[in-house]
Structure 1
Amino acid sequence: MALAARRSPTPDIAVPETPGEGIPVTYVPARNTVFQSLALGWAEVLGARHLFIGVNAVDYSGYPDCRPEFVEAFERLANLATKAGVEGDSFKIEAPLQFLSKAQIVQVGSQLGVDYTLTVSCYQANDEGQACGRCDSCRLRAEGFKAAGISDPTRYQ
């Protein structure tokens, strides 16, 4: 039980506030694998063959499941592990944000009408949804808005 307690997420995790080396403590084991697996199962039931994921491998924190290798490997897995894939009705994993900078993502979102006041990227947002303005995710988001020349509507603490 002590081991499980040490592994459970708590607000006391020391979230990095400057870029560091290696995979940060904000990494969630197998997060995108779990999400894509659930999406794959549902897609096969619905007859959908394109699965979309919002990973980014340009301005990101170094998570292994945001890399092109992960997307490519999951697509191979999807086509090996499903009836549809084995029978030639192939799946395609789409990662339209993967090679865009944060500035480009902000620009595309703005063009599509995304209301960024309804979004938060912070690892340490408070109960009111206000971002810390210091963590890696806040830093990358703020830099993206600045580089895009768009006012950052993020509510900060």
Structure 2
Amino acid sequence: MNKNRKALVVFSGGQDSTTCLFWAKANFEEVEAVTFEYGQRHYQEIEVAKSIANDLGVRHHVLDMSLLNQLAPSALTRKDQKIEHDEGELPSTFVPGRNLLFMSFAAVLAKQIGARHLVTGVCETDFSGYPDCRDIFIKSLNVTINLSMSEDFVIHTPLMWLNKEQTWELADHLDALEYVRDRTLTCYNGVQGEGCRECPACLLRNQGMVNYLNRKEEKI
């Protein structure tokens, strides 16, 4: 891939977006990151994102999206709401409109900083049923954003067809597995690194790592 381009990574400081940040740094000459403050369950997420961006030498933007908290309450924005996922229903952690708004505002920022490539860690393989993580949504939104600003943005989704095991494999190929394991915050209970080991995010993340490390050891 031609590296003489600039990318903006939608960045939360979690496993997926941090892996995408490393991916972007490997594929683009210049990379910046944007984090959205929307009243998420744990403010540590923003602090972790700031720390990682600083550590990797990436210019970091934090945008206020607190209105989303008012419009779309969920278990990710309300500590008094339980994290649950009933069969046939969207998880209580789904925030309606989140990726629609995040990608739209990221594109506005990207236009200002001269970036034409947007990178996001959405994934349809392990997406928990979130409709705004689907490939068809991202492709549709890419067209809409370009029409709205008469630009030629390209939205990259490096993890779209990867499960968590394969996401750890990608991090390893980017020489970032230990960094992602130790420094990121994916846990719904706000525990950095390997997390609480009990919430759905931790179970998915840690099982993926176990599967990948076991497969890697079998090859040795």
Which residue in 1 is equivalent to 2:97? 30
- Picking from 205, 210, 219, the partner of 1:141 is 205
SS where residue 93 of structure 1 aligns? strand
2:174 paired with 1:112: yes
Is 2:125–2:162's contact at 8 Å kept on the other side of the alignment? yes
Match of 1:44 in 2: 111
Q: Distance in 1 between matches of 2:193 and 2:129?
A: 25
SS in 2 for 1:81: helix
Separation (CA, whole Å) in 1 of partners of 2:105 and 2:89? 28
User: Tell me, what secondary structure is at the counterpart of 1:149?
Assistant: helix
Alignment partners' CA distance in 1, 2:103 and 2:116: 13
Bigger CA radius of gyration: 1
Q: Is the Cα contact below 8 Å between 1:26 and 1:123 reproduced in 2?
A: no
Matched, 1:96 2:158: yes
More strand by share: 2
CA distance 1:19–1:136, shift in 2 (3 Å): farther
Match of 2:83 among 8, 12, 15: 15
The residue identity in structure 2 corresponding to 1:138 is: C
Partner of 2:124: 57
1:75–1:92 contact (8 Å) kept in structure 2: yes
Aligned length: 139
Given that 2:194 and 2:202 are in contact with CA atoms closer than 8 Å, whether structure 1 keeps it comes out as no
Q: What corresponds to 2:146 in structure 1? A: 79
Percent of aligned pairs with the same amino acid: 35
Of residues 182, 188, 194, the one that matches 1:123 is 188
Q: Deviations over 1:75-126 (max 9, x none)?
A: 111111003x2xxxx1111101110111111111122232020112111225
Counterpart position of 1:153: none
Could you tell me which runs of 5 or more consecutive residues in structure 1 were left unpaired when the two chains were aligned.
151-157
Aligned letter for 2:174? L
With normalisation by structure 1, the TM-score equals 0.77
Give structure 2 stretches of 5+ with no counterpart: 1-69, 215-220
Q: Check conservation: 1:19, 1:136, Cα contact below 8 A.
A: no
Distance 1:135 1:19, change over 3 A: farther
Aligned residue for 2:172, secondary structure, equals helix
For residues 193 and 171 of structure 2, the distance between their equivalents in structure 1, rounded to whole angstroms, comes to: 20
Letter in 1 for 2:208: G
Secondary structure (helix, strand or coil) at the match of 2:202 reads helix
C-alpha contact 2:182 2:194 (8 A) present in aligned 1 = no
Is the CA contact (8 Å cut-off) linking 2:146 and 2:153 kept in structure 1? yes
Distance of 2:206 and 2:187 partners within structure 1: 11
